[in-house]
A and B are shown apart, each in its own frame.
Chain A
Amino acid sequence: MSGREYMLGNVAIARGIVEGAVDVVSGYPGTPSSEIVDTLASMKERDFYIEWSVNEKVAMEVAAGASMAGARSVVTMKHVGLNVAADPLMTLAYMGVKGGMVIIVADDPSCHSSQNEQDTRRYSVFSQIPCLEPSTPQQAKDMIPYAFELSEKYEIPVIFRSTTRISHGKSDIKLAPVRQKTGEIKFEKNPDRWVMVPKNARIRHPHLLSIQQDIRGELEVSGWNELTIEAESTVGIIACGTAAVYTKEALDRLGITASFLEIGTYPIPEDSIRQLLAKTEQVIVIEELEPVIEDQCKVIARDVGFETEIFGKADGLLPRTGEFNVDICMDGIAKAFGIDSCECKPAKQDMELPVRPPAMCPGCSHRGTFHVMKKVFGEDAVFPSDIGCYTLGIQHGTVDTTLCMGASISVASGIYDAGEKKPICCTIGDSTFFHTGINSLMNAIYNKSDITVLILDNRTTAMTGHQPNPGMGKTATREPTVEVEFDKLCSAMGAEFVEVVDPYDMDATEDVLERAKAYEGVSVVIAKRACVISAAREGIRYTPFMVDTDLCKGCRKCLKFGCPAIEFDEVSKKASINTMCSGCGLCVEICNFNAIMEVKK
């Protein structure tokens, strides 16, 4: 395959992985990273192994193991996933790798779908593992084969930092040929390298430090950094990642000429920075999130004794939070130049618009579970929750905490341990439970918490795009595999109250939850019902429901249920059900007047 194609950034990254002749790919889904593994797993023909792992730490360790055997490996995750994998990451830097290993981490400035906006480049500095950062989807694809080579040359993994606008941006992409596989797969015993006991770690730490200068020198001339000196300008601009393309557009729109250094590698190109500092009086550093380059530039300037003023985040010229765009870059550059910013100041429109938050889908079983949970435990009960579609239950008052993947059960335990007397019922999804909820449940049982754990098993990892998990009996490539049964797993960890219920059956769910609430100790309830989207894709169709307007009293009780398929007609003062109805029938039980019924054929 060659030529030019229109692709999503993550699909381009997947293509880069193939072009780089990968052998093993692992990952854990997380927006904006998920489509990389999804794309590779859905390929009809592939000559590499691919898996969705149960969490990022496991995924990192699988990729590391493959690399020890000489394979080229890739692990993918989102930025917060790297926290989970930070433990193997830090030691892997000492241990190093054999086959090229690329750690792809997708950052999410502005928290489009994340709980924080941390900057992965900090982990690169922290671990002393080099990092590559593309400015366009094309560069993202082209960088991956290079990342394998760099990794193999210095026997160290390479971090690849993407951001939302690379991962979820689309672009025309020039394809390159797929490289031939060259590496031999063979694990060679070498305890000095692969066993990080203190004796060996003490030797590997100086080694890691010793290769830094060589890596920096190699990256400096790698072609991913580009310096353009404009002799007639006293101002220099340093930019990286997507901020570099926004900056180019901003300069063009402002009609400004300045020397420009585009950075795509960490360690950063110090020689180029020195050249730029020597030729300019002011330098503006434009980077999304953390002032990684800005701080290092200041160190370089001080070391060399340059008088150049360095602007960026420290002086408030550019924000340290949120995603950048052309306007923010124009604004920062204009301020630095002391010129009028941008001509665009959109007229404020004064119409009040209704907010449109994402909501659980019509027919989502979580809605029924949450409704019954609130009824049984009471609105004042404590509802710790977790990360997934069900976090949208915040609108229903059933999500009181969300810290990170897998934390709901441990947070629930902590609230109980603190002495809280109210009933505590926490919720966690199936994939999240496998990710890190298992450890928390084991801890809660072992340490004698008195809480109810509600596992919302919708048979998929829905929020990130329906990736399979160990509860589904399917691998990433949809091959059949063992299906982990939640009830047996929980029983094996010592839980004595374990029940499975269908949340579409609200009476049965109520009964189970009443008993779970009364139970002293950790009670586990598994609410099991396939996600409506997956069910619809598998061809399952239910008869939709309607409101009998003669019976409807306009009490609006069904509207509080929060289903997007239920509307209210302000003229007739009656409820109605729109075409989004998927036929779950949960609203029938909500109506006190029996006004909701199946559409008659």
Chain B
Amino acid sequence: MTSNLSNFDLVIAGVGGQGAVKVSDIIGKAAVSEGMDVRAAETHGMAQRGGSVVNYVRVGCDLGSLIPCGSAQGMLALEPVEAMRYISDVAKDGIVVMNTSPIYPVTVTSGQCTYPDPQEIVASLEKDYRVVAFDAVALARQAGNMKTLNVVMLGAISSYLPIPEETLVECIRNMVPPKTIETNLSAFRLGRETTRQ
């Protein structure tokens, strides 16, 4: 269920170090420069050390930063298993933009747990959600730097956000290190193309 209490509720799921906070910051600042209220909640501390991370951004919302269960309009998943872990936050038929390239947790590499097939995750999500899944790491490499994975994903979700593309692009310009502006902008474009109808 979605409500009129927020214009667009987005869940950002990923692994500590992937740049989830940066994405949420770009969206947040862009929303403010569009004159919208915005609330966000982020994971700090322990989880940053390669742990599971979930952030919430509520665009056009002046209440709390936590998104009620099953009501987010969208999800940006930087990692496949993390998409699955937090999918119950997303409303049925919500948009899920997902990177298919996994990061194996230490529990998997050391043989305590198994990692599911990312294509099975996609198939499972497609039953209830609108899914756009692609290898964002490959696109980030194409843009010139693997670390722009988060901006590739931002580009992909940007087609669904109630914020003009130019505003997001302007925020990226202002918020990434000057030397990396071009790489980040091409990462954004490559991501955006994956979801442009």
Interface residues of A (CB under 8 A from B): 4-6, 31-32, 112-113, 136, 165, 168-172, 242, 245-246, 248-249, 252-253, 325-327, 330, 342-347, 349, 351-361, 389, 392, 395, 463-464, 556, 559-560, 562-564, 566-568, 579
Contacts and interface: CB of A to CB of B under 8 A. Distances in A.
A174 B42 CA distance: 21
Contacts of B39: 169-171
B124 interface: yes
A346 B88 contact: yes
B111 A568 contact: yes
Nearest to B89: A346
Q: What secondary structure prevails in chain A residues at the interface with B?
A: loop
A169 B65 contact: yes
Contacts of B124: 349, 351
Contacts of B3: 252-253
Contacts of A170: 24-25, 28, 38-42, 65
B164 interface: no
Interface of B: 1, 3, 5, 15-16, 24-25, 28-29, 31-32, 36-52, 63-66, 68-71, 81-82, 84-85, 87-88, 104-111, 113-116, 120-121, 124, 128, 146
A567 B104 contact: yes
A240 to B, nearest CB: 13
A562 B45 CA distance: 20
Given A170-B28, A325-B69, 4 more contacts: A6-B31, A136-B64, A326-B66, A344-B1
B94 to A, nearest CB: 12
A242 B39 CA distance: 12
Contacts of A32: 44-45
Contacts of A5: 32
Contacts of A345: 70
Contact of B41 (A165, A344, A346, A568): A165
Nearest to A171: B39
Nearest to A172: B32
Contacts of B120: 351
Contacts of A246: 63-64, 66
Nearest to B37: A172
Contacts of B69: 325-327, 342, 344, 346
Nearest to B28: A6
A69 B87 CA distance: 55
A343 B69 CA distance: 10
B65 A355 contact: no
B68 A356 contact: no
Nearest to B128: A347
Nearest to A108: B45
B64 A564 contact: no
Interface centre among A169, A358, A559, A560 (most CB of B within 10 A): A358
Contact of B32 (A4, A165, A357): A4
Contacts of A330: 68
B46 A112 contact: yes
A171 B41 CA distance: 9
A88 B87 CA distance: 47
Interface centre among B24, B63, B88 (most CB of A within 10 A): B63
Contacts of B37: 171-172
Nearest to B85: A353
Interface centre among A346, A347, A354 (most CB of B within 10 A): A354
Contacts of A113: 44-47
A252 B5 contact: yes
A165 B45 contact: no
B68 A344 contact: yes
Given A170-B28, A172-B32, A357-B105, A464 B50 contact: no
A171 B38 contact: yes
Contacts of B5: 249, 252-253
Contact of A356 (B1, B29, B105): B105
B116 A6 contact: no
Contact of A168 (B1, B44, B105, B113): B44
A388 to B, nearest CB: 11
Contact of B42 (A168, A248, A249, A325): A168
A113 B51 CA distance: 12
A559 B63 contact: no
B65 A359 contact: no
A248 B63 contact: yes
A341 to B, nearest CB: 11
Given A253-B68, A351-B116, A392-B49, A168 B41 contact: yes
Contacts of A343: 1
A360 B51 CA distance: 10
A399 to B, nearest CB: 14
Given A172-B32, A395-B106, A358 B47 contact: yes
21 contacts: A6-B28, A112-B46, A169-B39, A169-B40, A170-B38, A170-B40, A171-B38, A252-B5, A327-B69, A346-B88, A351-B116, A351-B120, A353-B85, A354-B105, A354-B114, A354-B115, A356-B50, A360-B49, A361-B50, A564-B50, A567-B109
Nearest to A560: B110
B107 A357 contact: yes
A357 B65 contact: no
B49 to A, nearest CB: 4
Nearest to A464: B45
A358 B66 contact: no
A356 B52 contact: yes
B34 to A, nearest CB: 11
A327 B68 contact: yes
Most A CB within 10 A of own CB, among B3, B32, B49, B70 = B49
Contact of B25 (A6, A342, A360): A6
B185 to A, nearest CB: 21
